Amino acid sequence: MSRLLLLSGLILLGVGCAGSHANSRVGEPAYSLGHPDGEPLLVQGQYITGPASSLVIAEDSMRGRFRDQPVSLTWTWQEVTGAVAEHETRLELAEGDDTRIWGSFGGIPVDLTLDKEWLYGNVGGCGYALQRNEDGFVGQWSCGGPLEEDLRVAFPSPLLERSLGERASMMTLMLVNFTKTYSPSVSLARFIRPRNATVGDKTVNVQP
């Protein structure tokens, strides 16, 4: 009899915990993340979900699976470390007049700069020069081929209010999810920028 009561209690506890996780997302706004050509991702509260992705965000970490690959990241105000798809991740972070994110994300080189108007830099072999709007970013990109216009990636304004490590992780995830080819580093000299800028060891001539 005591075993039956104990088993019943454990079942009820499990159901209660599952219910609390489900209810934590009830009523929270849901935001699309990234570009439809990648896996469609949805951010709702502290969860990122997609057909092959399920990630949980804590105060200083992100864990779960992204495109069926394991993800385990932790962050501070200076770096994001951990592993994506069993490849080491180490992103350096710096925030001042603009935000810098550079290093490696799951073995993919990353060098991004975000200011009040623009997100620009490289992820893998792809280069981006994207201007902010309410729903995310829109602008130019190239993955070693012709320069293409009017790329739109979703990263709604409320996500920019999250902590630096969380923002950096989601922003990099947004572009990694869309990046299809990892060719040698793309020259950014062809991109239209708001001002002269140095990205990594490259000096970009910006035209109005």
Q: How far is CA 129 from CA 89, 110, 116, 176, 183, in A?
A: 23, 14, 13, 15, 18
Question: CB of 116 within 8 A of CB of 172?
Answer: no
The per-residue pLDDT for 135 is 92
Question: CB of 93 within 8 A of CB of 79?
Answer: yes
pLDDT digits (tens, 9 = 90+) for 130-175: 999 989 999 999 887 888 999 999 999 999 999 999 999 999 999 9
Taking alpha carbons only, the member of 5, 32, 1, 34 closest to residue 173 is 34
DSSP symbol at 196: -
Helix locations, 51-147, DSSP H = none
The per-residue pLDDT for 20 is 35
Residue-by-residue DSSP string for 151-194? EEEE--GGGGGS-HHHHHHHHHHHHHHH----PSPPP-TTS--S
Tokens for 118, please give them. 């623009």
The per-residue pLDDT for 144 is 79
- pTM score, two decimals? 0.74
Q: Which residues of the chain have pLDDT under 50?
A: 1-24, 181-208
